[in-house]
Amino acid sequence: MKFGDFLFPDSRDPERDGAVIDETLNEAWLADELGVDVIWLAEHHFDGICAYADPVSFAGALATTTRQAKLGFAVLQMALHHPVRAAEQIAVIDNITKGRLIVGLGRGSSYNIYDYTGFGIDHHEAQARLDEAEDIMRRAWTEGEFHHRGRFWQLDVPMLRPRPYTKPHPPIVRAASGEASMLELARQGRPFLMNVQSSETTRRRFALYREVMAEAGFDDRAIARNLDQCWVWRNVFVAESQAEAERLGIPAFEAMAASRAEMRNRIYRETGIRIEVPASDLPSTRASVEHGFICGTPAHVSDAIEEIAELGVGGVIATFRLGPLPHAAALASLRLFMAEVAPRFRGPCDR
């Protein structure tokens, strides 16, 4: 099983954004040193829940300062990006890293209306923009000069330079925050990134994923291959004792969950504007300690990871820095996880 460190640093004070970014760089370097398989980067704007905000520029900073870990986007909010610019930027990073890049794509925030209004984008267009953008990016990476006439972009593109290092292009994986989008990816025979969900929901969705892929005509080998490319996200805190893990981890997790809803709720109170999300996709369950947080000793955390491993999932994306959790505590949790949890799920040939 593979393990990723999801760098999702919360900065409540704009004056500390730079300091939090520095700390996040240090976490990435430690993760690389400890043998984390993938360093994952988020994209969120304006509210400080992800201090570096722009994963493409942050990946550029990590491209030359990490040596082993892959860099993954979880995800690029493609409703907010011009696809040719994104294809060009990704090709540069793919060359610098010599292929250590996973391109996670999503439609954009499912909840934060200001991610769209701040960029002048109608959030109702997000899915269609994602689909069109991915098609353009694939063509830019694999074709020479091409012309595109679509709903959002009218393009006459000379051959993109530089060409990607990875042929035909870096691996692409879609995020699926809701069940419907996950099932559509299953029909297409594509792997997916799953956001934080309860154990029950995770088991049910992966069972459905297998069923729908089989119904679409994919054999057992294809299904297993796809599952090996799927990742699930979990919030994690590890300590030597259960009491210590709960004392430090639970308040940090609860504060993180509250801060992620804070600006969204304020905007709604002031303007009456919000993104309508189906009840089945609301984040309430995964914002709870019971369902959204793995917290405890290495043995306790390993038991929770084992439930995921039994599903055949390829990897776990773990967030170690939770809201206001001090930088040093997050690094200690990461070290303990990589020393005592990760080895239990890796073969002798794994890093």
Instruction: Please report the pLDDT score of residue 89 as a whole number.
Output: 98
- As a whole number of angstroms, the distance between CA 47 and CA 262 comes to 9
Q: Mean pLDDT over residues 93-114, rounded?
A: 94
Comparing 91-105, 200-214, 285-299, 317-331, the range with the smallest average pLDDT is: 285-299
pLDDT band at 46; cut points 50, 70, 90: very high
Flag whether pLDDT at 285 surpasses 80.
Answer: no
Instruction: Please report the pLDDT score of residue 279 as a whole number.
Output: 61
Cα 156 to the chain's mean position, in Å?
A: 32
Instruction: Please report the pLDDT score of residue 199 as a whole number.
Output: 93
In a domain, 223, yes or no: yes
Comparing 112-116, 238-242, 340-344, the range with the smallest average pLDDT is: 112-116
In a domain, 351, yes or no: no
In a domain, 92, yes or no: yes
pLDDT band at 145; cut points 50, 70, 90: very high
Which position has the higher pLDDT, 349 or 265? 265
Flag whether pLDDT at 278 surpasses 70.
Answer: no
Flag whether pLDDT at 281 surpasses 60.
Answer: no
Cα 12 to the chain's mean position, in Å?
A: 21
Q: Mean pLDDT over residues 246-256, rounded?
A: 97
Q: Mean pLDDT over residues 23-42, rounded?
A: 98
Q: Mean pLDDT over residues 121-133, rounded?
A: 96
In a domain, 175, yes or no: yes
Structural domain that includes position 39 = 2-345
148-188, pLDDT tens digit by residue?
999 999 999 999 999 999 999 999 999 998 899 999 999 99
In a domain, 229, yes or no: yes
Instruction: Please report the pLDDT score of residue 132 as a whole number.
Output: 98
In a domain, 333, yes or no: yes
Centre a 10 Å sphere on the Cβ of residue 257 and count the other Cβ atoms it contains.
21
In a domain, 350, yes or no: no
Instruction: Please report the pLDDT score of residue 140 as a whole number.
Output: 98
Instruction: Please report the pLDDT score of residue 349 as a whole number.
Output: 57
pLDDT band at 350; cut points 50, 70, 90: low
Cα 73 to the chain's mean position, in Å?
A: 6
Instruction: Please report the pLDDT score of residue 276 as a whole number.
Output: 82
Instruction: Please report the pLDDT score of residue 348 as a whole number.
Output: 61
Give the pairing type, strands 101-106 and 70-73. Answer: parallel
pLDDT band at 280; cut points 50, 70, 90: low
Domain harbouring 8, CATH code: 3.20.20.30
| Per-position b or e across 232-251, b if 16+ CB within 10 A of its CB | bbbbbbbbeeeeebbebbee
Q: Residues 6 or more apart from 121 whose CB is under 8 A from it?
A: 79, 80, 108, 129
pLDDT band at 108; cut points 50, 70, 90: confident
Nearest Cα to 212, choosing from 184, 193, 231? 184
Flag whether pLDDT at 328 surpasses 70.
Answer: yes
- As a whole number of angstroms, the distance between CA 230 and CA 313 comes to 6
- As a whole number of angstroms, the distance between CA 273 and CA 295 comes to 35
Residue 1 · residue 317 · CB < 8 Å = no
Instruction: Please report the pLDDT score of residue 26 as a whole number.
Output: 98
Query: Taken in order 154, 156, 159, 162, is the CA torsion positive or negative?
Result: negative
303-324, pLDDT tens digit by residue?
999 999 999 999 999 999 999 9
58-75, pLDDT tens digit by residue?
999 999 999 999 999 999
- As a whole number of angstroms, the distance between CA 33 and CA 23 comes to 15
In a domain, 31, yes or no: yes
If one counts the domains in the chain, the total is 1
